[in-house]
Amino acid sequence: MTVAASLVEFRGVGKRYAAGGPAAVADLDLVIERGEFLTLLGPSGSGKTTTLMMLAGFETPSTGEIFLGGASLADRPPYRRNMGVVFQNYALFPHMSVAENVAFPLRVRGIRGSEAARKVADALALVKLDGLGERRPDAMSGGQRQRVALARALVFEPDLVLMDEPLGALDRQLREHLQIEIKRIQRTLGLTIVYVTHDQGEALTMSDRIAVFAGGRVQQVGRPDAIYETPANAFVAAFVGENNMLAGTVMERHDDRCIIRLPGGQIVRATATGAMAAGDSVIAAIRPEHVETGITPPACSNAIEARVEELAYHGDHSRIRAALDGGGSLVIRVPSTADFTAGQRLPVGWCADRCFAFPADDGTAACQKAVA
């Protein structure tokens, strides 16, 4: 990442709402590139919304500084930051028409008349609400109102657009449709968007990069595929997507590989992530789609037996929940045509490259409670 490409930089930013109280955000160092879609992802109370509010100017950092285009935002009020903001509850004026709502940021900036009318028309066309400028917000659907809120955030050509759970109140089908629309607009205009959500699927679908938050700290920053396929710690593995989390003890470690014994005596080979040595307690994470059935040695580096507890049909696939001897269980994704029965013994296996071992005491245990 080059300095010229960066638009926003957080340097050692922290936030406490009460002196001596817990940190809502701690030691945040984060750079946001021009033109990127960055998602702040995490459970409730993880610090993601506080981070967004500090960037918008609605909250003041307790420590550190935030820079926009290389200039400090310390003494710049929200209305002078040239940022568009979209909230979950739309925040539209019910007594104003759609066009008047969209024009409001222009009025604040002294832009009126034909120039304002042109900008409003362009913004409504961009969000596919042409011809609906005279309607009132209460005569529109939730999806249409969110489009109005988006048009209002874009109409004055901001340097940055901030979105705080903007699709959280919508049904799944509409939410997925608007995800595509927001991404289309971002690419069309080359916008820089900072997007807050707790929805992992939303983050994976829309983002250029994701910053995963927990306990007021960033746990990992990276592209969606990197976050999903190579989680940095047990929290990220548990929170982003679905993972089977198997507790065990390290028997041996060799460079980036380790051998783990599960409570039932099964031996698992995994990719070692973090500091661990023989005798340490660890958590081995393996995603359901990476577990194969009918596996026997030496076809796979890990091959054990499980007992089918239940099979759930999900349309394009089915999911098996299988118990392991000695405790613990696996969720396995299989074709929807698969035929298994409860109680059946089932050979399963996976590759060590797909299985990640994390120290059990690496500080993510408290974060994982937030997921539950």
Q: Is residue 34 part of a domain?
A: yes
Number of H helices, E strands in the chain: 9, 20
Q: Is residue 185 part of a domain?
A: yes
pLDDT in single tens digits along all 372 residues of the chain: 344 469 999 999 999 999 888 999 999 999 999 999 999 999 999 999 999 999 999 999 999 999 999 999 999 999 899 999 998 787 889 999 999 999 999 998 999 999 999 999 999 999 999 989 999 999 998 889 999 999 999 999 998 999 999 888 788 888 898 899 999 999 999 999 999 999 999 999 999 999 999 999 999 999 999 999 999 999 999 999 999 999 999 999 999 999 999 999 999 999 999 899 999 999 999 999 999 987 665 567 899 999 999 999 899 899 999 999 998 999 999 888 888 888 999 999 999 999 999 998 765 554 454 444
Same domain, 281 and 347: yes
Range of the domain at 323: 235-366
> pTM (2 decimals)?
0.90
Count of beta carbons in the 10 Å neighbourhood of residue 203: 26
DSSP secondary structure letter of residue 145: H
Dihedrals phi, psi of 72, to nearest 5 degrees: -65, 140
Q: How far is residue 175 CA from its own chain's centroid?
A: 15
52 touches 194 (CB < 8 A): yes
* Long-range Cβ contact pairs of 72-81 (< 8 A, separation 24 or more): 79/108, 81/56, 81/57, 81/159, 81/160
The count of structural domains within the chain is 2
Same domain, 44 and 62: yes
The radius of gyration computed from the CA coordinates of the chain, to the nearest angstrom, equals: 24
Same domain, 254 and 220: no
Q: What angle do CA 365, 321, 281 make, to 5 degrees?
A: 30
Q: What angle do CA 28, 82, 67 make, to 5 degrees?
A: 30
Q: Is residue 112 part of a domain?
A: no
Where does the chain have alpha helices with state H?
48-56, 98-108, 113-126, 142-154, 172-189, 200-206, 224-229, 234-239, 365-371
Q: Is residue 111 part of a domain?
A: no
